[in-house]
Amino acid sequence: MVSIQDQIVLITGASSGIGSACAQSFAQAGTQLILAARRLDRLEELAAELKQQFNTQSYLLALDVCDRSHVKTSLDALPAAWKQIDILINNAGLSRGLDKLQEGNIQDWEEMIDTNIKGLLYVTREIVPGMVSRGNGQVINMGSIAGHQTYPGGNVYCATKAAVRALSEGLKMDLLGTPVRVCSVDPGMVETAFSQVRFHGDAARAAQVYQGVTPLSPEDIADIVLFCATRPPHVNISDVVVFPTDQASATLVHVEVRVGVIFPFHQEPQSSSVNQKILGFESLGRASHTLMTQLSILQDAEPN
């Protein structure tokens, strides 16, 4: 492990979930943090906690990554002491809905595209030139298994994460010959506010996603991000795909079913004597009648 003490780390979507967990991990590693998100009050709480626990110096940015001019103005206005960013963690991202493409909400599409693709591009475009000129830096993009495997109802969201994967690969090519490294971390199911954002605040519906499953935690992902950031300069971990043990792919999850427990989406399995089965759903709200099928729910990145 290479020390990253006193390095400056910019984390987007830092106010909760994976972003907040990354802030904790990197604070413990002795870095200085630029915490960016739309919710300044959450950032203030997080910064105070990190200051108390680790004496971490933090700079807070109330940042909407979707707003290109705001991104440029905010990053240009960083104080001189905070401008030399060593590590960029492009974590801001979200998903909206599980509608079929032909029935999709265009506003949801635009929000996903603006945040997951354009927001990542805007921030990266502002930060990477400085890394190149200084001859040092690392970009860690929060991707998703959805960028590797499309699942039913995931259409536009999966497309945005496939774009993140392509952008990560393309940026590595563009930076070849420089010391700047690029990594993509692509999780499967992670228990964050992701599902609640996807379902427009429907907490009850979001809670059903994790019923009978042990998902990854934000801290699990933060550990991986920190590991990638602390490799020697000649080592670039290009892509990390990580699942919970209960998940085998974007569409296959092991669900523990116990007799007497309300089954997700209000449909009981056909055999009440079953203790454990591999179960799934063809689409949200319609339970499958088979015991081995596809699961069209996937949690990974964190709302901005």
The CATH code of the domain that includes 137 is 3.40.50.720
Is the pLDDT higher at 178 or at 195?
Answer: 178
Output the pLDDT for position 159.
Answer: 98
Q: Following CA atoms 236, 123, 130, 3 in sequence, which dihedral angle do they give, to the nearest 10 degrees?
A: -40
CA neighbours closer than 13 Å in the CB half-sphere of residue 99:
13
In a domain? residue 284: no
Output the pLDDT for position 251.
Answer: 87
> How far, in Å, CA of 123 to CA of 294, rounded?
35
Q: How confident is the model at residue 98 (pLDDT cuts 50, 70, 90)?
A: confident
Q: What percent of the chain has pLDDT over 70?
A: 78
Output the pLDDT for position 31.
Answer: 99
Tens digits of per-residue pLDDT, 157-171? Answer: 999 999 999 999 999
Is the pLDDT higher at 300 or at 103?
Answer: 103
Tens digits of per-residue pLDDT, 8-44? Answer: 999 999 999 999 999 999 999 999 999 999 999 999 9
Q: Tell me the mean pLDDT in the region 133-139.
A: 98
Average pLDDT, the chain: 85
Task: Quote the number of domains for the chain.
Answer: 1
Q: Residue 114 pLDDT > 90, yes or no? A: yes
In a domain? residue 254: no
Q: Residue 178 pLDDT > 90, yes or no? A: yes
In a domain? residue 273: no
Has this prediction a pTM greater than 0.75?
Answer: yes
Tens digits of per-residue pLDDT, 55-71? Answer: 999 999 999 999 999 99
In a domain? residue 154: yes
In a domain? residue 164: yes
Q: Cα separations (Å) of 291 from 29, 45, 256?
A: 45, 45, 12
Q: What are the beta bridge partners of residue 176? A: 178
Q: Which of 11, 67, 62 has its CA nearest to residue 185?
A: 11
Tens digits of per-residue pLDDT, 246-283? Answer: 999 988 888 876 544 444 433 334 443 333 333 333 33
Output the pLDDT for position 207.
Answer: 61
> Could you list the residue range(s) of the whole structural domain that residue 209 is in?
8-243
Three-state secondary structure call for residue 39: coil
Q: Residue 297 pLDDT > 70, yes or no? A: no
Output the pLDDT for position 25.
Answer: 99
In a domain? residue 268: no
Q: How confident is the model at residue 286 (pLDDT cuts 50, 70, 90)?
A: very low
Task: Break the chain down into helix, strand, coil percent, rounded to 5.
Answer: 40, 20, 40
Q: Which helix (H) or strand (E) holds 174?
A: helix 155-174
Q: Tell me the mean pLDDT in the region 221-238.
A: 98
Is the pLDDT higher at 246 or at 241?
Answer: 241
Q: Residue 294 pLDDT > 60, yes or no? A: no
In a domain? residue 271: no
Instruction: Considering the candidates 122, 151, 157, 210, report the single residue annotated as catalytic.
Output: 157
Q: Residue 288 pLDDT > 70, yes or no? A: no
Packing angle of the helix pair 17-28, 218-229 (nearest 10 deg): 50
Q: How confident is the model at residue 212 (pLDDT cuts 50, 70, 90)?
A: confident
157 is catalytic: yes
In a domain? residue 114: yes
